[in-house]
């Protein structure tokens, strides 16, 4: 299988998986599950890619076309992994430190600290996965400094998705 064929199948499989996962969001919700729905929305994907292509071009000194391909592949892989990793991390948050905070402050699940924790976890997960792709699939050097820039790029797109929850609240 050629590299282009693999990438095409990965993107197609990702799109199908995203569609199926939308149906899986049943009656139990927590911030990370709501956020995941926003992260895989068309506007979020397009906006996030625009931001990250520019960052990847600048960070790795790549041509626009190469930066676009590298960012697209990294984000496709990050999206597929994030569909599972972000809600699971959010659930672990809810049963761990988030549960303690909720108990101590007598807050419900959807509180400012839970949203901040969800934002940080989602940003860390997506940035980490993308940096692994840059390093392992494209042999790009990723140190702490570049990781920081990728984290910043991801924080902009994840932050926009979190903010959208407050501007246009989800139907629950």
1 occurs within a structural domain: no
* Domain carrying residue 149: 30-167
H/E element holding 130?
helix 112-136
72 occurs within a structural domain: yes
What percentage of the chain reaches a pLDDT higher than 70? 83
Contact 150, 130 (CB under 8 A): yes
5 occurs within a structural domain: no
pLDDT at 79 over 70: yes
Number of domains making up the chain: 1
The span from the CA of 55 to the CA of 92, in Å, is: 31
16 occurs within a structural domain: no
10 occurs within a structural domain: no
pLDDT tens readout for residues 2-60: 665 666 666 665 555 555 454 444 456 788 888 888 888 888 889 899 999 999 999 99
Name which of 125, 127, 119 is nearest 166 in CA terms.
119
109 occurs within a structural domain: yes
Q: Give the count of beta carbons closer than 10 Å to the beta carbon of residue 42.
A: 7
**DSSP conformation class of 28:** -
15 occurs within a structural domain: no
Whats the size of the chain, residue-wise? 172
């Amino acid at each position: 299988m050629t590299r282009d064929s693999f990438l095409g199948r990965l993107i197609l499989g990702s799109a199908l998986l995203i569609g199926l996962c939308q149906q899986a969001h049943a009656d139990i919700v927590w911030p990370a599950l709501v956020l995941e729905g926003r992260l895989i929305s068309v506007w979020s994907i397009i906006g996030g890619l625009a931001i990250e292509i520019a960052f990847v071009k600048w960070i790795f000194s790549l041509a626009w076309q190469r930066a676009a391909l590298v960012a697209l592949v990294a984000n496709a892989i990050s999206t597929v992994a994030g569909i599972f990793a972000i809600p699971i991390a959010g659930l672990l948050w809810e049963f761990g430190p988030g549960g303690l905070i909720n108990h101590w402050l007598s807050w419900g699940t959807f509180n400012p600290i839970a949203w901040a924790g969800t934002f940080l976890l989602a940003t860390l997960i997506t940035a980490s996965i993308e940096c692994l792709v840059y390093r392992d699939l494209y042999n790009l050097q990723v140190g702490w400094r570049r990781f920081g820039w990728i984290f910043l790029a991801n924080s902009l797109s994840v932050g926009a998705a979190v903010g959208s929850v407050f501007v246009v609240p989800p139907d629950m």
